[in-house]
Structure 1
Amino acid sequence: MFCKNRITFALTAALLATSAAAVAQAPPAAAAPNPLQAGFQRIGTPPPMNNFADNTGFTPLFDGTLKGFSYDPALWNIQDGAIHLTATCEKPTGTVYAVSTAGEFGDFVLKYEMKGTGNINGGMQFRSYITSDSNVTGGPKMVPAPRPAAPPRPAAAGAAAPRAPRPAACATPGTAPSKESQAKYDMAGPQADFDQANHYSGMFYEQSGRAVIATPGYSMYADATGSWAMAQIADKATHDSWFHKDDWNQFVVVALGHSVSIYMNGHLVTQIVDIDPKYFRAAGKIGVESESFGDLWVRNISIKKL
């Protein structure tokens, strides 16, 4: 009896050891795929930057000429392969536009490059309309109004620097084109702002409407009661480090429903969720805007519908 039990115990121990070894050597079973994680990267792994030069799915809005734009030929031209404008004290332009004739766009990814000199201020209009058009589509029509001074940057980011002053008066100051002569080009609506001093580049601005809505470096929310900062994306020093002064800056505007995100040189600068029933526009025209003194260049404008 004793021997039999010892033999049985020995056999059982051997079988257990063999099974344990087999389990240890067997490859681990593959985890079932989680459909909710499809297309997403593991947390902690930075996603790849979008390649600005990748034009897959994009339609060019600029072919190296101005034939795809409505504009005043006395102001706008082509220089160095880009849409160009010069404004000086002797030949001021006021606030003027070159409007894409490609139609209206709602949800899209819009990308372009922009640079300037002097104290030029401008930007790219989107989901906008011609103010003289009585048949406005895509959203409400705002009453044209002078561009107000920008409010100070929220305290968390430090006080905003003032707009660059105009140059000293020249010997023969000129007169800007009349509003009547520019009426068929004049635009209103959202804009991704740009200025050579980088006070406002990448800001969400609304021409002839709410003016400054989302200052650079903030995630914003806007409704019928106003606009509110939800989170800070970058402080002023960081925003300045992203800007290419005296060189080309790459901008990407992603508009999807009530959300708009504006990127500059690969960095998210401004984000806004806009549900204001009086001002939100779901679609509209694309156009280049310029004001103040200096040179403005814009090139590589293309769009992808979403």
Structure 2
Amino acid sequence: MINLKWNFLCRQVRLAAAARQMVPVFIAITAVLGSLHAGETVRLFDGHSLKGWEGDPAHWRIQDGVILGEIPPGETLRKNTWLVWKGGELADFDLRLQVKLTGLPGANSGIQFRCQVDNYDHVSGYQADLDMGTTWLGRIYDEHGRALLVERGSRVHIEADGKRRTWIFAPAQQYTVLFRENDWNDYRIVAVGERVSVYVNGTLFSELLDQQTNERDITGSLAFQLHSGPETRVSFRNIQLEHLNANDGRLPPFKVADQVEADDSDVGVVPSGNDGKPLNLGFEDGTLNHWTATGDAFQNQPVNEDGIASRWAGQVSNKQGEFFLGGFEIIGDRGRGTLTSSPFKVTHAYGSFLVGGGENTSTRVDLVHIENDGKEEVVFSAAGQNREQMRRVAVDLRRLKGEQIAVRVVDENPGAWGHINFDDFRFHDEPPVIAEPTSAWRTIRNPLLHHLVPNKPQTDSHEPGSETASQMFVPDGFAVDVVAAEPDLHQPMAFTFDGRGRLWVVEGHSYPQKRPPGEGLDRIVIFADNDHDGHFEERKVFIEGLNLVSGMEV
């Protein structure tokens, strides 16, 4: 209890509360918390009234047995407002509740925890975010001014001096489909000491280890937010709070991969044009020389004024040098167009560039392979993360060495986050940073497939294809075994099972080239398990001489 009192006193000093107000509030909170013990779970809502809660009755009420916060149709809320729980402060806890969010696309809410409350119209501190899955759901935000702390799919360690170390365990965009539209979503926040984890519908969204001096919050209040903006309806029910011990072990060990320090010996090489002179791919001459623009998205670019910090606390452009392509800085989100560099030869194994802005594929940076006949093929694309601050991405160019490529910056979106930031394309002999995966994320990192378990095939580990089967992930109780593999079949293009359980496979011997008439090399083979022991021991050719077969029905 001494620690509780000391933490509370510190909080009151921080809020500059009048001394005469401290005594009765202190007594009330001591009484409430003194009756609760670690491991005890309490319901914070009785299903009938707002007893124990305080908020603006114009926006918060009980309806159909749930707490409802509402911005009515046709109205706009000009400032955030909160429904504050008056039952005491939170320290170490496990909060579980259900939430339903509907309204216009911009509908937004949040759950403030360990927060500081001046009144129900002014609350600051940690916030677990809520929207309809598009951008904010599951993020951890700080209303004190540090703004976005943890993107969903990320684990962030904030050190004592404010330096942040981030490990991305899944792409943020994969979480969008986990939101249940027009239905109840399970929301969970677990906080133990400096650790916070946020779960939505049973899936881990974000993790925080906050050790920043004078900024982290170890205790504070609980409040539900109704965010300023258009028509919104946010409902809460089944609100359960479990108080934990400071040494509670329900959160797994917090691991952040070691940061890769910048290697000053590999600052990269600026590509040269066909005339042998360096191209203006970092805009350091202050113009769009060596670039061709369409549309109006990039008019009056590049820019050297970094106005991002004035709009987004804690963010800067992260530009390299003086100038960068700041998609929002001149005309906001409304522009559309492309910006394509002059072609240049790939002379190194890797490339990298800075990108920020919208995360939708309608705002992106493409690397375009230009073939000898002038045909173009996009070989790599990267977008922002709905953050103005650019991050460096790397691309493997080894297979394109000696070929011609170009950089194309694309803005096809005139709506929200409809802009792209770009700077500083250059070559490298070695990967300059840990690049974001350019192929599919492994199953265990995909929030949609987090329930899958490692496959345990029954086949001999030395048989062809067994290594591939052992790397698969399957639903619990299932297994994948090898039916056929090379050299028993060649380049399978399509397969199906017939009513007798036989496996039919199309072999594409000439794919992707079509053979002259009458010279087809493709064929269909049939595998059968005649003794029903799980091994397809019989193989026979059904038909051959086919030409570029892509599918079949049996």
For normalisation by structure 1, the TM-score amounts to 0.61
Assess, with a 3 A threshold, how the Cα gap between structure 1 residues 245 and 104 changes in structure 2: closer, same or farther: same
- Report Cα offsets for 1:157-215 as digits up to 9, x if no partner: xxxxxxxxxxxxxxxxxxxxxxxxxx454211101100124311111111132110101
**Structure 2 counterpart of 1:25:** none
Aligned mate of 1:100, from 85, 89, 112:
85
Q: Tell whether 2:201 aligns with 1:258.
A: no
**Structure 2 counterpart of 1:142:** none
Unaligned runs of 5+ in 1: 1-55, 133-182
Assess, with a 3 A threshold, how the Cα gap between structure 1 residues 280 and 75 changes in structure 2: closer, same or farther: same
Residue 58 of structure 2 aligns to a residue whose secondary structure is coil
**Structure 1 counterpart of 2:532:** none
Shift of the alpha carbon at 1:259?
Answer: 0.5
Shift of the alpha carbon at 1:217?
Answer: 0.8
Q: Is the 8 A contact 1:233 1:269 kept in 2?
A: no
**Structure 2 counterpart of 1:298:** 236
Q: Is the 8 A contact 1:214 1:227 kept in 2?
A: no
**Structure 2 counterpart of 1:121:** 108
**Structure 1 counterpart of 2:182:** 246
Q: Is the 8 A contact 1:219 1:270 kept in 2?
A: yes
How far apart are the structure 1 equivalents of 2:151 and 2:133?
A: 15
- Report Cα offsets for 1:96-151 as digits up to 9, x if no partner: 00000111010000111112112211111110111x3xxxxxxxxxxxxxxxxxxx
Q: Is the 8 A contact 1:110 1:254 kept in 2?
A: yes
The alignment yields a C-alpha RMSD, in angstroms, of 1.8
Q: Is the 8 A contact 2:129 2:136 kept in 1?
A: yes
Q: Tell whether 2:187 aligns with 1:202.
A: no
Q: Tell whether 2:51 aligns with 1:67.
A: yes
Q: Is the 8 A contact 2:56 2:120 kept in 1?
A: no
- Report Cα offsets for 1:33-83 as digits up to 9, x if no partner: xxxxxxxxxxxxxxxxxxxxxxx8420111112112011111111123211
For normalisation by structure 2, the TM-score amounts to 0.35
What letter matches 2:97 in structure 1? Y
Q: Tell whether 2:147 aligns with 1:211.
A: yes
How far apart are the structure 1 equivalents of 2:174 and 2:163?
A: 23
Shift of the alpha carbon at 1:247?
Answer: 1.6
How far apart are the structure 1 equivalents of 2:91 and 2:126?
A: 12
How far apart are the structure 1 equivalents of 2:184 and 2:66?
A: 11
Q: Is the 8 A contact 1:70 1:185 kept in 2?
A: no
Unaligned runs of 5+ in 2: 1-38, 245-554
Q: Is the 8 A contact 2:85 2:221 kept in 1?
A: yes
Shift of the alpha carbon at 1:224?
Answer: 4.3
What letter matches 2:201 in structure 1? N
**Structure 1 counterpart of 2:64:** 80
**Structure 2 counterpart of 1:111:** 96
Shift of the alpha carbon at 1:274?
Answer: 0.2
**Highest RCO, 1 vs 2 (Cα 8 Å, sep ≥ 6):** 1
Instruction: State how many pairs are aligned.
Output: 200
